[in-house]
Structure 1
């Protein structure tokens, strides 16, 4: 089991507060990894540290053995990292179709077309059928669950993403939609070979065999193992 990306002795500070206390977190390729913990445990900060949206105060981020600690978030995205945060994960003033166009491969290059510039607008099929009738709606007018589906579409439209980070995938989703989402996230790892990392408050149902769980408490690792080993 090869390590795709990892935190090594990672520390993150928010002013006087230290959110991660020297965290070591290896994330293997082709596997679903669950970061478990309550609010304030450090699981969201760990995702952001991997994504490059927060800066380490100490430690390193290694991607396939290379030090990418100083690599900005947009460069990590270009290299094949997809991050879906829990909040502010869509462009509220753009339509659903425009958000999907930007999320698709080459979306940045097609930004002017997506926003009504010269050339045809290329809109990929929504990964969620529920979004089809909403294509012309501004994302800011959607319900919480609809916005979540739109945000998650980024993970499913990213071509050849080697690392997929999702903070609370089922937030605001109806149970059947959540179950479908976890199956698709599992397929990204098992069939696509991606390193999929989910930040959760509990271990979700339906994850594949070989799923790894790391429980965080107050910025430190409290447990590492398989879901069945949790008490």
Structure 2
């Protein structure tokens, strides 16, 4: 199992508070990795550190062994990293169709294929994203991760605002990115999702440090 991206002795500070305390976090390719923990445990900060949206006060980010700590978020995105935050993940002033077009890997192809893995959004293509419900906005944000080919996919709270059936479908789609496409998929969660694919990993964070690592079955 090869490591796609990793935090090495990563420290992140927000003013006087340190959110990550020398965290080592390897993320394998072709695997779903779950960052587990309560609010304030450091899950979101770990995702932001990998994405480059927060700066490390110490430590490194390695991508296939190459130090990318100083690369900006947009440079990491160009290299194949997709980050879906829990908030402000869509462009409110653009329509649903325009938001989807921004994440499209190429020109739209003619035909009956849906522009999104969520059929629920198709009747809303002409609506501006700012008028959507929380669940609809979440589906729109997740469409970006599911539509664009990426080597690293980071999603903070994937099921936020989703109905249970839609959340279950979302986890299946994210698992396919790892199993079928070989992406390194990292999910920040408060609870372990059901039906993770074989080989998935769980890292429990507490107060910015790694408290436990293992497979989902070991938590039962």
Contact 1:100 1:124 in 2 (8 A): no
Partner of 1:3: 3
Q: CA–CA distance in 2 between the matches of 1:92 and 1:106? A: 22
Among 174, 181, 184, the alignment partner of 2:163 is 174
Moved >2 Å (runs of 4+): none
What do residues 153-175 of structure 1 show as CA deviations (whole Å, max 9, x unaligned)? Answer: 0011112x100000000000000
Q: CA–CA distance in 1 between the matches of 2:176 and 2:105? A: 19
Q: How does 1:134-173 map to 2 (within 5 A)?
A: 134-159=124-149, 161-173=150-162
Partner of 2:72: 72
Partner of 1:133: 123
Contact 2:114 2:122 in 1 (8 A): no
Q: CA–CA distance in 2 between the matches of 1:126 and 1:210? A: 28
- Taking structure 2 as the reference length, what is the TM-score of the superposition? 0.96
Q: Does 1:190 align with 2:179?
A: yes
Give the match's secondary structure for 2:169. Answer: helix
Give the match's secondary structure for 1:21. Answer: strand
Structure 1 residue 206, shift from structure 2 partner: 1.4
Aligned residues: 216
Q: CA–CA distance in 2 between the matches of 1:204 and 1:226? A: 12
Contact 1:10 1:20 in 2 (8 A): yes
Structure 1 residue 27, shift from structure 2 partner: 0.2
Contact 1:93 1:138 in 2 (8 A): yes
- Across the aligned residues of Structure 1 and Structure 2, the Cα RMSD in angstroms comes to 1.4
Gaps of at least 5 residues in structure 2 are none
Partner of 2:104: 104
Contact 1:96 1:139 in 2 (8 A): yes
Give the match's secondary structure for 1:88. Answer: coil
